[in-house]
Chain A
Amino acid sequence: MSFELPAGHALLVVGPSGSGKSTLALAIGGLIPRDIPAAVGGHLALDDREIRSLAPAAVAARIGMVWQDPDSQLVMERVEDDVAFGLENRAWPRPAMSSRIPGLLDEVGLDGLERQRSRRLSGGQQQRLALAGALAPRPGVLVLDEPTANLDPAGALAFMERLASLRAERSTTIVLIEHLVEAAWPMADRVLALDGEGRPIDFGTPQEVERRSAARLRDAGIWLPAAVERRIRDGAMAAPARPSRPEPAAEASPIITATDLRFGFDRREPVIRDLHVRIDAGERVALVGPNGSGKTTLARLLVGLLRPDLGTVRLLGDDPARLAPAELARRAAYIFQDPERQFLAQTVEEEVLLGLRFAQRPAARILMGRMGLPLDRFGRRSPYRLSGGEQRRLSLATALVREPAVLVLDEPTFGQDRFGYEGLLEILDERLAAGATLIAATHDQRFVADATTRSIELDGGWIVSDERSL
């Protein structure tokens, strides 16, 4: 691929899952091939100088990076110390640091939290802190690799607003990889679209790319802003009709009930407070709410992965925390929020076959093919070597292959391109048509609208609304 980005411009990089977006970000940041060995060809220049030939300090002096996971990019314990870390490394004099940091924290909306421990911040605040840390030394280029992937809608919006105000100043060149195209597309001066193999589909201003290649982008599995999607849909083909939803059974029978549920980690503030909920067989439930509202904790309680401090949970009549593992696995499947931190095997094939009966194996092969992870290509790879979106599909496959009565999915659409998303909806529809129940904790409003019929909103450990849509 070849492209040139003028100083002060914002580049949006889009592409399907596994197309090499993150690799491009690491190369621009000078970390490939310096920190991560890789075969590299071609030229990548910063201000007309080859990045590979520059000293690490010279690259770091010009480039700031923000990654997806807030937990592994904050170095120091306290907010202001973390912002100072990059300045100390560049040997800024102390008075300069002291005058730079408060204004910067103000700029990213973290004023007043200077002495706070960064671990105590919300996910959205942590990402804004990472942004402040990257911006502190006034880098010429800011590279952001899916900075909002772990954030709730409000946190993501606040982050993108900060970024937009930064772009308005035109002092920093921005390279942004982002699935939230609705906010990112209007911000970009240039768009680089990659296909599944990492080859460029198009490069140009957003208007040029929309005009020339909107349909090709869509067919490569890339998300486009809703307005663009509508335009190409009107021109070409009709929208794929959503499969009709089965009518709820006339006599609904409860599959999960929770009564007077209360839970807190180690004598701290309860995360779940006096919560009642009844979920009937065949329902499609979304658990929504901001980061830290208790969605994940509730999901884990409902399948007995955590034991409540008070109250009871019944999964098909029994306390799920007391079921034998084999029986629990027959009744419920669960995928965890972080796509990487749940794998139990060393290869993709072992991972999906783990704990399956022999008779279920052929079904697992077919399912992996449908999830875009055919075992003949991916089977022998390490789960940790997959892209974030691929890891998510692997964990989904480990849950879907079992055909349990209840599917409990924590952020099922994380990092999914259009193909991954539509494939997931199709398979979920089949399972639900066969009578399964879906409970999904999610920030993805599109998924809530497309896949669920009941939306339970949590805030501060309480249910604040419970609505059914028809």
Chain B
Amino acid sequence: MIADRLELDEPRLASPLGRVSPVVKLAIALVWLVGLAFTTRILPPLFLALVAMVAGLWLGRIPGPTLARATAPLWIAAVLIGVSNTVFAAANGDPAAAELLTIGPIRITTEAAVAGVGLACRVIAIASVGAVFSLTTDPTRLVDSLVQQARVSPRFAYGALAAYQAIPRFGQDLATLRQARRVRGLRGGWHPGLLVGVLVLAIRHGDRMALAMDARAFGSGPRTFYRPIGWHWIDLVASVAAVVLLVVALAVPT
């Protein structure tokens, strides 16, 4: 079930990467992505992807198979994006470009191949950083940290947490409505009406949730925190390390 993939085990929460403030991890991910936008080379994104994976496995105690499962669809997507961008690149039609190979009517140039592979590498970097972030970050801690350290509005943050927790419920609703159609003798596994049904149920669930939160005085004034989140030396270490690694990645000669 989806729920299992959303839940972290205790060793991961207690790992060094699990203890870094979620806001700091989020900032690192964003800074890395911005940094990668300044280069089209292949090595920097691959280097950062490798760093993220090693850190996830070693400092984040993510079990290897879990990380492999979480990133597998994105690896496939990266390959597909790389191939399609290589094959359909405008550079292939440029007579001045250096020809790499031709497959039947398709001519592939070196420029197109370099751009395609570069793009695939960036997708891989984004996927690995994102996977390591989500596999080492407890959703409750992320929300607490967003509210306390990044001053995000509690209404938005806790609303998002509630919606996030409802994801498995939407899956169940879809399955039930499909079964309801079948047992009423209706054909077609993926009728568009199903989407309307799931949407209606999601909105009603959201309404009830909002009602329950209001009844518990949510948003009625200043709030305190049961789990105060403060800054630790580990946040500083992580930030400095992340910046150094980004600089190294961008500085490596090709």
Residues of A within 8 A of B (CB): 26, 29, 31, 34-36, 55-57, 60-61, 63-65, 67, 69, 71-73, 75-78, 80-81, 84-94, 97-98, 117, 119, 133-134, 137, 265-266, 268, 300, 303, 305, 324-326, 328-330, 332-334, 336, 338, 340-344, 354-355, 384, 398
Specify which of A72, A84, A305 is in contact with B209 (CB 8 Å cutoff): A72
Contact, CB under 8 Å: A355 / B219: no
Contacts of A84 in B (CB 8 A): 226
User: How far is B124's CA from A391's CA once the two chains are assembled, in angstroms?
Assistant: 49
Measured CB to CB, the closest approach of chain A to B253, in angstroms, equals 47
Q: Is B210 an interface position by the 8 A CB rule?
A: yes
User: How far is B218's CA from A137's CA once the two chains are assembled, in angstroms?
Assistant: 13
Q: Is B165 an interface position by the 8 A CB rule?
A: yes
Measured CB to CB, the closest approach of chain B to A211, in angstroms, equals 36
User: How far is B227's CA from A78's CA once the two chains are assembled, in angstroms?
Assistant: 12
Contacts of B185 in A (CB 8 A): 325-326, 328-330, 355
Contacts of A94 in B (CB 8 A): 224-226, 228
Specify which of B179, B212, B220 is in contact with A57 (CB 8 Å cutoff): B220
Contact, CB under 8 Å: A336 / B4: no
Contacts of A77 in B (CB 8 A): 139-140, 161, 165
Contact, CB under 8 Å: A325 / B1: no
Q: Is B193 an interface position by the 8 A CB rule?
A: yes
Contact, CB under 8 Å: B179 / A305: yes
User: How far is B168's CA from A264's CA once the two chains are assembled, in angstroms?
Assistant: 17
User: How far is B168's CA from A117's CA once the two chains are assembled, in angstroms?
Assistant: 14
User: How far is B180's CA from A338's CA once the two chains are assembled, in angstroms?
Assistant: 12
Contact, CB under 8 Å: B217 / A81: no
Q: Is B187 an interface position by the 8 A CB rule?
A: yes
User: How far is B177's CA from A354's CA once the two chains are assembled, in angstroms?
Assistant: 14
The list of the 8 closest CB pairs from A to B, nearest first, reads A329-B185, A57-B220, A60-B217, A84-B226, A86-B216, A73-B212, A72-B208, A89-B217
Given contacts A75-B162, A266-B4, A354-B184, 11 further A-B contacts (CB under 8 A): A65-B215, A71-B169, A88-B225, A89-B221, A97-B224, A97-B226, A325-B182, A326-B187, A336-B176, A341-B201, A354-B186
A and B contact pairs by CB, cutoff 8 A, 23 listed = A34-B214, A35-B211, A35-B214, A72-B209, A72-B212, A77-B161, A86-B217, A87-B224, A87-B226, A88-B223, A88-B224, A90-B217, A90-B223, A91-B222, A91-B224, A94-B224, A325-B187, A332-B183, A334-B180, A336-B176, A342-B180, A344-B181, A384-B204
Chain A, residue nearest B205 (CB): A72
User: How far is B228's CA from A300's CA once the two chains are assembled, in angstroms?
Assistant: 45
Which residues of B (1-47) have their CB < 8 Å from a CB of A?
A: 1, 3-4, 7
Measured CB to CB, the closest approach of chain A to B216, in angstroms, equals 4
Measured CB to CB, the closest approach of chain B to A409, in angstroms, equals 12
Measured CB to CB, the closest approach of chain A to B70, in angstroms, equals 16
Measured CB to CB, the closest approach of chain B to A345, in angstroms, equals 8
User: How far is B193's CA from A318's CA once the two chains are assembled, in angstroms?
Assistant: 29
User: How far is B165's CA from A133's CA once the two chains are assembled, in angstroms?
Assistant: 18
Measured CB to CB, the closest approach of chain A to B211, in angstroms, equals 6
Among B180, B185, B204, find the residue whose CB has the most chain A CB atoms closer than 10 A: B185
Chain A, residue nearest B2 (CB): A266
User: How far is B251's CA from A212's CA once the two chains are assembled, in angstroms?
Assistant: 90
User: How far is B177's CA from A305's CA once the two chains are assembled, in angstroms?
Assistant: 11
User: How far is B224's CA from A92's CA once the two chains are assembled, in angstroms?
Assistant: 6
Contacts of B221 in A (CB 8 A): 57, 89, 91
Contacts of B168 in A (CB 8 A): 119
User: How far is B215's CA from A56's CA once the two chains are assembled, in angstroms?
Assistant: 8
Specify which of B177, B183, B218, B226 is in contact with A329 (CB 8 Å cutoff): B183
Contacts of B210 in A (CB 8 A): 35
Chain B, residue nearest A354 (CB): B184
Contacts of A333 in B (CB 8 A): 183
Measured CB to CB, the closest approach of chain A to B159, in angstroms, equals 10
Contact, CB under 8 Å: A69 / B208: yes
Given A89-B217, A94-B224, the answer on whether A266 and B183 have CB atoms closer than 8 Å is: no
Measured CB to CB, the closest approach of chain B to A67, in angstroms, equals 7
User: How far is B185's CA from A328's CA once the two chains are assembled, in angstroms?
Assistant: 7
Among B4, B200, B212, B227, find the residue whose CB has the most chain A CB atoms closer than 10 A: B212
Residues of B within 8 A of A (CB): 1, 3-4, 7, 139-140, 158, 161-162, 165, 168-169, 173, 176-177, 179-187, 193, 197, 200-201, 204-205, 208-228
Chain B, residue nearest A136 (CB): B216
Measured CB to CB, the closest approach of chain A to B71, in angstroms, equals 20
Contacts of A72 in B (CB 8 A): 205, 208-209, 212
User: How far is B183's CA from A69's CA once the two chains are assembled, in angstroms?
Assistant: 25
Contact, CB under 8 Å: A76 / B140: yes
Given A94-B224, A97-B226, A329-B183, the answer on whether A133 and B211 have CB atoms closer than 8 Å is: no
Contacts of A137 in B (CB 8 A): 217
Contacts of B200 in A (CB 8 A): 384
User: How far is B216's CA from A193's CA once the two chains are assembled, in angstroms?
Assistant: 28
Contacts of A57 in B (CB 8 A): 217, 220-221
Measured CB to CB, the closest approach of chain A to B74, in angstroms, equals 21
Measured CB to CB, the closest approach of chain B to A112, in angstroms, equals 16
User: How far is B222's CA from A92's CA once the two chains are assembled, in angstroms?
Assistant: 10
User: How far is B176's CA from A81's CA once the two chains are assembled, in angstroms?
Assistant: 30
Contacts of B220 in A (CB 8 A): 55-57, 60, 89-90
User: How far is B226's CA from A80's CA once the two chains are assembled, in angstroms?
Assistant: 9
Measured CB to CB, the closest approach of chain A to B83, in angstroms, equals 32
Given A61-B217, A69-B208, the answer on whether A88 and B180 have CB atoms closer than 8 Å is: no
Measured CB to CB, the closest approach of chain A to B174, in angstroms, equals 10
Among A303, A328, A341, find the residue whose CB has the most chain B CB atoms closer than 10 A: A341
Contact, CB under 8 Å: A73 / B224: no
Chain B, residue nearest A300 (CB): B179
User: How far is B183's CA from A398's CA once the two chains are assembled, in angstroms?
Assistant: 11
Chain A, residue nearest B217 (CB): A60
User: How far is B207's CA from A84's CA once the two chains are assembled, in angstroms?
Assistant: 22
Contacts of A85 in B (CB 8 A): 216, 218
User: How far is B219's CA from A60's CA once the two chains are assembled, in angstroms?
Assistant: 11
Given A35-B211, A72-B208, the answer on whether A89 and B216 have CB atoms closer than 8 Å is: yes
Given A75-B158, A89-B218, the answer on whether A336 and B224 have CB atoms closer than 8 Å is: no
Contact, CB under 8 Å: B140 / A268: no
Among B169, B210, B224, find the residue whose CB has the most chain A CB atoms closer than 10 A: B224
User: How far is B212's CA from A134's CA once the two chains are assembled, in angstroms?
Assistant: 10
Contacts of A93 in B (CB 8 A): 224
Measured CB to CB, the closest approach of chain A to B220, in angstroms, equals 3
Chain A, residue nearest B193 (CB): A344
Chain B, residue nearest A342 (CB): B180
Contacts of B212 in A (CB 8 A): 65, 67, 72-73, 75
